[in-house]
A = this chain, B = another copy of it.
């Protein structure tokens, strides 16, 4: 299977390598020069846009503009697959910007270079059918299954609601604890060690990803409010105990 990877940031480089591991022929394009796995061929933007399957691995906040610029230069038979950590807006953008009838598939691999560093087998990937089409959709699903991924099919909205209250809250907690300047300590309990590993994992990802996750997920604001309300409730309980 010949696939293109558009964008070789932290996730794109990892994803290109993962697709090569799965036996794909991988072409990749990036505006800046990144280190990439030896099996991945770096090509020009125009050449990349000729691939039959194009995975977009760009920041959520850049995706709309990148699509707008590249869609007119694509062959309508190319299948466009995004890998953004939110799904409602990217699905909408693909529906709006691509050629009429061009197949788009929205995906979210729920892992990255840290959580997938020992292989991706058993890890979850979300798959959203947004074009009324079976052949290519099945081919991409089969590819994911062959990689040992745990494929979960749902709508973009379902994904975003679940993700806000799982991945979204995890990143928010990780960034907040990082901001507190917490450090390792010899008296660390097991729970604190788990907490520190969350800080490390979430803050290894670019700040852009964190901001985009919070801004472009329609449920993120509600999640953050719910977190703030929960903190108030816990603080109030402590004050009541003191009385």
Contacts and interface: CB of A to CB of B under 8 A. Distances in A.
Contacts of A115: 189-191
Contacts of A140: none
A48 B123 CA distance: 53
Interface stretch (A20-28, A89-97, A194-202): A194-202
B166 A110 contact: no
Contacts of A214: 238
A226 B179 CA distance: 9
| Tier of interface size on chain A | 35 or more
A233 to B, nearest CB: 5
A176 to B, nearest CB: 5
Given A187-B124, A215-B238, A230 B163 contact: no
A141 B46 CA distance: 70
A182 interface: yes
Nearest to A242: B215
B165 A182 contact: yes
A166 to B, nearest CB: 4
Interface stretch (A9-17, A66-74, A98-106, A167-175): A167-175
This protein's copies in its complex? 2
A121 to B, nearest CB: 13
A127 to B, nearest CB: 11
A42 interface: no
A234 B176 contact: yes
27 contacts: A108-B187, A110-B187, A110-B188, A111-B189, A115-B190, A162-B185, A162-B186, A165-B180, A165-B182, A166-B185, A166-B189, A167-B191, A167-B192, A170-B191, A172-B234, A173-B195, A176-B227, A179-B230, A190-B201, A191-B202, A194-B194, A194-B195, A195-B198, A211-B238, A214-B238, A215-B241, A227-B231
